């Protein structure tokens, strides 16, 4: 869980991404962490509160035909908006990873008539928070403003997505920030373990490349690369919008046209092939002189639109999704004290179905930890859970769904993810019934599917003893 | 991130309508209660805060506050190990706990109808904990792994730990919350129980409930649960050895082959909100003026105008019982020497201390801080944390409420004045994270490509 500003140590780690990036703005998430974060969102999406949510969600279609989902709530004088342009870092050319990420960081660094300084001043003067981020499959934007400032906030959003300037000064400055972030993480064990996993699992595929780029690629990105990427990937047909707070449908409709109406009608996305992770059953090791080995593991999971996704989601909860009662938590941490953090989650990317997980354990017990993880995964797939274990998991997943909806920002994120996953505006009302309906037979069926290829790829960074690597990390080496 | 830290570190709150809703009362056994109603979703955040943290540990037992926090999940006479977590899980609740220098807190987030249930369990473990070596010893290994993950695997974290130790020469804020490794290894069941019996008692605890509930309902449930727990210790005043007036500038260097990006960070010894409200609020504004994102003075000067730094920021930890830290940090661009960057940093700070912020900077900083207090109200768990942290560090709910108004009243002269008085070399610990060429164990360049990012 997150931590007081004093750096308090918690009973459980934040599930993913570790600590805050530090004191700097414009820091970027490490590559696969970005992947992993995106993925957590997906995993958390299928959840929501009791009855009345759907009735509160309005589908707003602007006069110009732009759609947004809105929850109108006047309790607080603020508006939260989340947007996503499908595409993301998977659209980066093979020889220049990092374009999507750098572009996203530059959208609020000068647009239209406003240079970077003026743009940032406009935000600061009204305490408008606007930021963009790239992940594997999308570029997302997040806006938060006091409702009295929606007009200037929407104008800044319009400028950012329709008229980014990519001035030389800003490009160079943000590039330097991105490079500093890459250098800061270049020997970070968990970052390297993630990068090593991706590079090994997806050679010659966009998912194998670092979202934030590399120390070699980022310096080569030109203004033309950035502007071209924006023109091709920021469009109306790949845009999803969610709005929550003190604004009604009548006001939002025209505002949507104002913000997004000038975008091209269609994005020009390069098709990304579906892909199956490679290297399953192998262990890659990158030696680093640290006392603890960071471990990322993963294998074949299920796509989000797979009819068995929900049973698989419940299955993963029992494996490594549950904070205090998952099998991995009990075996690796509670019984043996091998690690502080151990987890797994389903990671349905747009073009790859994954189950991913991680841990960190001292070098001389790494072999034991990864053997346990492998064994527990196979055991759950082979023997299945007990009826009681399944009921407990379902009970948690059903009961906890309301917790995803207790702030404007969280509601907006959920509404956006449901649109991205194409689950329907009534999904929130249907979702708990879907979980409740999962039977032991469903779990056995999905376990049998996962058992068809249950091999896991392990990526290790540290000085683990007693491990024979079966391969070396991918050519990009992180 | 400085914004996030400010919000966590300082205090939030009010649009008047909502601040008025916050209720406070005290149970007969001395346990304080704060209720923050938020009816937007049918859920509650339930937290119990103890007025004890790592700075209350005895010498040689560093880490015991945090270790006990882990052990609090190991069961009681009434509810054996795992039962509480299992019940919370079945109810669809989320739970966790955290430890800081001044407080330790436990929380659950559940649907509102389950509030009474989690209160029963939390009240039970306030005095009913049972520990055996069978559960204590593996958990100590877990904490050692936690320490490796947070600190030992990361040179920047090691330097940060050293900086804190150098700053506090007399006050126990100098040792890490998680503890020194060798001392963690020696902690045992008896240490944990002794600490527990001394500090875990209702008169040393604060209940904070935020969410879809009314104060009357919380009062009824609290009387029936926490109200039944007997006091088992009297609380002594929290008087720790204080920092003497610092006289000498301190400098640290950590050079490590793992460092990819050099950086410089500096912390200054400053008062907390409890110690000096006007100065503290002026320091909040100063942190925002200096480090407020892309419009902050350090970013504008060092990153934008001079092009010396890749990043620059500032932070201030206002929520603390005793003297605390104000920090700045910078990372140089590749061709820039640390000396040149530090000179420019000193100039930027010196100019601000001489002339104060300009009108635009002051207004932006105050607007941002006041807006963040409103943004904080969007999240019931954030609000619960703000109140809990304030009340365990010697502030009151009233202090939380008046904070935005105090921010609005800060003048340019006050900001200049706190910069002048506190951002001086004698109060500073400057830490440099430095690259060194790796010692080649294998001189062949074949292994080099892997070092690339």
A402 Cβ under 8 Å from any chain B Cβ? yes
A77 Cβ under 8 Å from any chain B Cβ? yes
Chain B environment of A116 (Cβ under 8 Å): 294, 304
What integer pLDDT is reported at residue A330 of this predicted model? 95
Chain A environment of B265 (Cβ under 8 Å): 23
Domain residues of chain B, as ranges?
30-228, 250-435
Walk across the sheet containing B428-435 and list its strands. Answer: B250-256, B428-435, B263-270, B324-332, B309-316
Nearest chain B residue (CA) to A118: B295
What integer pLDDT is reported at residue B267 of this predicted model? 98
Helix axis angle for B215-224 and B115-127, nearest 10°, is 40
Tell me: the pLDDT tens digits for A229-261?
999 999 999 999 999 999 999 999 999 999 999
- In angstroms, the CA A99 to CA A86 distance is 15
What would the DSSP string read from start to end of B286-336?
Answer: HHHHHHSGGGSHHIIIIIIIS--EEEEEEEE----SS-EEEEEEEEE-TT-
Does position A14 have pLDDT exceeding 90, yes or no? no
Q: Strand pairing partners for B43?
A: B111
- For range A427-438, the mean pLDDT: 96
Run of H or E including A340: strand A339-348
CA A212 vs. chain centroid, Å, equals: 14
Paired tokens of A111: 């647009």
- In angstroms, the CA B221 to CA B117 distance is 9
A324 Cβ under 8 Å from any chain B Cβ? yes
Place of tokens 């001392």: B183
At A17, the pLDDT band (50, 70, 90 cuts) reads very low
What integer pLDDT is reported at residue A22 of this predicted model? 25
Residues 6+ apart with CB under 8 A from A106: A164, A166, A170, A171, A174, A226
What integer pLDDT is reported at residue A324 of this predicted model? 85
Does position A55 have pLDDT exceeding 80, yes or no? no
Residues B297, B301, B306, CA angle at the centre, nearest 5°?
Answer: 170
CA B138 vs. chain centroid, Å, equals: 27
Instruction: Name the CATH architecture for the domain at B30-228.
Output: 2-Layer Sandwich (3.30)
What would the DSSP string read from start to end of B193-246?
Answer: HHHHHHH-SGGGEEEEEEES--HHHHHHHHHHTGGGSPP-SPPPP--PPPPPPP
Does position A27 have pLDDT exceeding 70, yes or no? no
- Residue B258 vs residues A189, A266, A359, B304, B434: alpha-carbon distances, Å: 10, 45, 21, 28, 10
Please state the length of chain B: 453
Tell me: the pLDDT tens digits for A185-223?
999 999 999 999 999 999 999 999 999 999 999 999 999
- How high does pLDDT run on average in chain A? 88
- In angstroms, the CA A455 to CA A194 distance is 18
Do B99 and A333 count as a contact with CB atoms less than 8 A apart? no
- Evaluate whether B174 touches B167 at the Cβ level (below 8 Å): yes
The domains located in chain A, with CATH, are 31-260 (3.30.830.10), 283-403+421-462 (3.30.830.10)
Nearest chain A residue (CA) to B161: A7
- Select from A313, A314, A320 the least CA-distant residue to A353: A313
Tell me: the pLDDT tens digits for A358-370?
999 999 999 999 9
At A26, the pLDDT band (50, 70, 90 cuts) reads very low
Indicate which residues of B carry an active-site annotation.
69
- Evaluate whether B325 touches B269 at the Cβ level (below 8 Å): yes
- For range A442-448, the mean pLDDT: 98
What integer pLDDT is reported at residue A48 of this predicted model? 36
- For range A334-348, the mean pLDDT: 96
What integer pLDDT is reported at residue B438 of this predicted model? 60
Residues 6+ apart with CB under 8 A from A69: A57, A58, A59, A60, A241, A242, A243, A415, A416, A418, A419, A425
Tell me: the pLDDT tens digits for A140-181?
999 999 999 999 999 999 999 999 999 999 999 999 999 999
Do A6 and B317 count as a contact with CB atoms less than 8 A apart? yes
* Helix, strand or coil, per DSSP, at residue A402: helix
Tell me: the pLDDT tens digits for A310-332?
999 999 999 999 888 899 999 99
Do B311 and A392 count as a contact with CB atoms less than 8 A apart? no
Tell me: the pLDDT tens digits for A97-107?
999 999 999 99
Does position A472 have pLDDT exceeding 80, yes or no? no
Domain B250-435 has CATH 3.40.640.10: no
Q: In the Cβ-directed half-sphere of B95, how many Cα atoms lie within 13 Å?
A: 26
Tell me: the pLDDT tens digits for A387-414?
999 999 999 999 999 999 999 999 999 9
pLDDT < 50 regions, chain B:
1-17, 19, 443-453
- Select from A353, A356, A326 the least CA-distant residue to A344: A356
Intrachain domains B30-228 and B250-435 with the same fold: yes
Count, in order, helices (H) and strands (E) of chain A.
Answer: 16, 12
Chain B environment of A337 (Cβ under 8 Å): 137-142, 145
Q: Do the bridges between strand B324-332 and strand B309-316 make them parallel or antiparallel, or are there none, so unpaired?
A: antiparallel
What integer pLDDT is reported at residue B445 of this predicted model? 39
**Would you tell me how many other CB atoms lie within 10 Å of the CB of residue A15?**
18
Pick the more confident residue, B242 or A50.
B242
Does position A23 have pLDDT exceeding 60, yes or no? no
Do A23 and B142 count as a contact with CB atoms less than 8 A apart? no
- How high does pLDDT run on average in chain B? 92
What integer pLDDT is reported at residue B439 of this predicted model? 57
Quote the minimal CA–CA distance from B71 to chain A in Å: 9
Do A50 and B42 count as a contact with CB atoms less than 8 A apart? yes
- In angstroms, the CA B359 to CA B285 distance is 13
Chain B environment of A187 (Cβ under 8 Å): 257-260
Tell me: the pLDDT tens digits for A261-298?
999 999 999 999 999 999 999 999 999 999 999 999 99
A366 Cβ under 8 Å from any chain B Cβ? no
Strands (DSSP E) found in A50-209: 57-61, 67-72, 78-86, 129-134, 138-146
Quote the minimal CA–CA distance from A183 to chain B in Å: 5
Tell me: the pLDDT tens digits for A65-80?
999 999 999 999 999 9
């Amino acid at each position: 869980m997150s931590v007081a500003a004093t750096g308090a140590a918690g009973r459980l780690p934040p599930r993913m991404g570790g600590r805050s990036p530090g004191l700097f703005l414009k820091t970027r998430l490490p590559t696969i962490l970005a992947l992993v974060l995106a993925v957590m969102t997906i995993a958390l999406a299928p959840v929501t509160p009791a009855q009345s949510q759907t009735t509160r969600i309005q589908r707003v279609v602007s006069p110009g035909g732009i759609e947004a989902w809105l929850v109108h709530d006047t309790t607080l004088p603020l508006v939260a908006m989340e947007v996503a342009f499908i595409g993301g870092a998977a659209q980066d050319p093979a020889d220049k990873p990092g374009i999507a990420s750098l572009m996203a960081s530059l959208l609020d660094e000068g647009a239209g008539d406003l240079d970077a300084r003026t743009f940032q001043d406009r935000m600061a003067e009204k305490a408008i928070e606007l930021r963009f981020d790239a992940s594997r499959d999308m570029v997302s934007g997040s806006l938060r403003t006091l409702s009295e400032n929606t007009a200037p906030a929407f104008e800044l959003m319009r400028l950012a997505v329709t008229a980014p300037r990519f001035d030389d000064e800003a490009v160079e400055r943000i590039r330097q920030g991105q490079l500093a972030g890459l250098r800061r993480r270049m020997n970070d064990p968990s970052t390297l373990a993630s990068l090593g996993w991706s590079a090994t699992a997806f050679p010659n595929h966009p998912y194998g490349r670092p979202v934030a780029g590399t120390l070699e690629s980022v310096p080569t990105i030109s203004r033309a690369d950035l502007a071209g990427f924006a023109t091709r990937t920021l469009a109306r047909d790949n845009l999803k919008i969610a709005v929550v707070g003190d604004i009604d449908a009548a006001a939002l409709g025209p505002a949507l046209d104002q913000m997004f109406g000038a975008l091209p009608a269609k994005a020009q996305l390069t098709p990304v092939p579906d892909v199956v992770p490679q290297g399953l059953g192998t262990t890659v090791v990158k030696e680093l002189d640290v006392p603890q080995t960071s471990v990322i593991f993963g294998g074949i999971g299920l796509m989000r639109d797979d009819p068995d996704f929900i049973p698989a989601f419940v299955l993963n909860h029992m494996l490594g999704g549950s904070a205090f009662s998952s099998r991995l938590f009990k075996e690796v941490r509670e019984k043996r004290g091998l690690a502080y953090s151990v987890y797994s989650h389903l990671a349905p990317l747009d073009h790859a179905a994954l189950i991913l997980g991680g841990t960190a354990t001292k070098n001389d017990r790494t072999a034991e930890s990864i053997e346990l993880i492998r064994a527990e995964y196979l055991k759950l797939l082979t023997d299945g859970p007990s009826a009681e274990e399944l009921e407990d998991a379902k009970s948690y997943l059903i009961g906890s769904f309301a917790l995803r909806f207790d702030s404007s920002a969280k509601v907006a994120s959920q509404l956006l993810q449901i649109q991205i996953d194409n689950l329907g505006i009534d999904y929130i009302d249907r979702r708990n019934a879907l979980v409740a309906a999962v039977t032991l037979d469903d779990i056995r069926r999905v376990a049998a599917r996962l058992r068809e290829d249950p091999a896991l790829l392990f990526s290790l960074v540290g000085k683990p003893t007693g491990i024979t690597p079966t391969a070396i990390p991918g050519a990009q080496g992180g | 991130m400085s914004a996030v830290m400010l919000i966590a570190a300082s205090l939030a709150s009010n649009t008047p309508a909502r601040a008025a809703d916050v209720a406070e009362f005290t149970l007969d056994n001395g346990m304080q209660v704060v209720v923050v109603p938020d009816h937007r979703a049918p859920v509650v955040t339930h937290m119990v805060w103890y007025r004890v943290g790592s700075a209350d540990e005895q010498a040689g037992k560093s880490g015991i506050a945090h270790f006990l926090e882990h052990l609090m999940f190991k069961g009681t006479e009434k509810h054996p190990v795992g039962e509480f977590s299992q019940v919370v899980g079945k109810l669809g609740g989320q739970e966790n706990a955290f430890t800081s220098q001044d407080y330790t807190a436990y929380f659950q987030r559940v649907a509102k109808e389950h509030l009474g249930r989690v209160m029963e369990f939390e009240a039970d473990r306030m005095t009913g904990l049972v520990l055996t070596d069978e559960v204590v010893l593996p958990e100590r290994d877990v904490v050692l792994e936690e320490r490796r993950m947070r600190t030992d695997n990361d040179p920047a974290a090691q330097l940060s730990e050293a900086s804190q130790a150098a700053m506090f020469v007399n006050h126990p804020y100098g040792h890490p919350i998680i503890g020194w490794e060798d001392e963690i290894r020696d902690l045992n069941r008896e240490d944990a129980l002794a600490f527990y019996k001394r500090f875990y008692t209702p008169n040393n605890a604060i209940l904070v409930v935020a969410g879809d509930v009314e104060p009357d309902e919380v009062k009824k449930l609290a009387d029936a649960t926490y109200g039944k727990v007997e006091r088992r210790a009297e609380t002594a005043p929290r008087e720790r050895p204080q920092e003497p007036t610092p006289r000498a500038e301190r400098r640290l260097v950590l050079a490590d082959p793992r460092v990819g990006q050099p950086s410089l960070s500096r912390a200054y010894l400053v008062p907390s909100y409890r110690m000096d409200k006007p100065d503290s609020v002026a320091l909040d504004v100063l942190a925002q003026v200096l480090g407020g994102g892309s419009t902050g003075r350090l970013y504008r000067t060092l990153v934008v105008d001079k092009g010396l730094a890749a990043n620059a920021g500032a932070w201030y930890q206002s929520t603390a019982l005793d003297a605390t830290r104000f920090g700045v940090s910078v990372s140089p661009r590749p061709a820039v020497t640390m000396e040149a960057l530090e000179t420019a940093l000193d100039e930027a700070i010196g100019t601000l201390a001489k002339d104060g912020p300009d009108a635009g900077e002051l207004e932006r900083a105050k607007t941002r801080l006041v807006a963040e207090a409103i943004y904080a109200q969007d999240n019931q768990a954030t609000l619960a944390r703000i109140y809990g942290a304030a009340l365990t560090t010697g502030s009151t709910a009233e202090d939380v409420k008046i904070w935005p108004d105090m921010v609005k009243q800060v003048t340019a002269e006050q900001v200049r004045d706190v910069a002048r008085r506190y951002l001086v070399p004698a109060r500073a610990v400057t830490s440099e994270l430095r690259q060194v060429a790796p010692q080649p164990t294998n001189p062949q360049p074949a292994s080099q490509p892997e070092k690339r990012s």
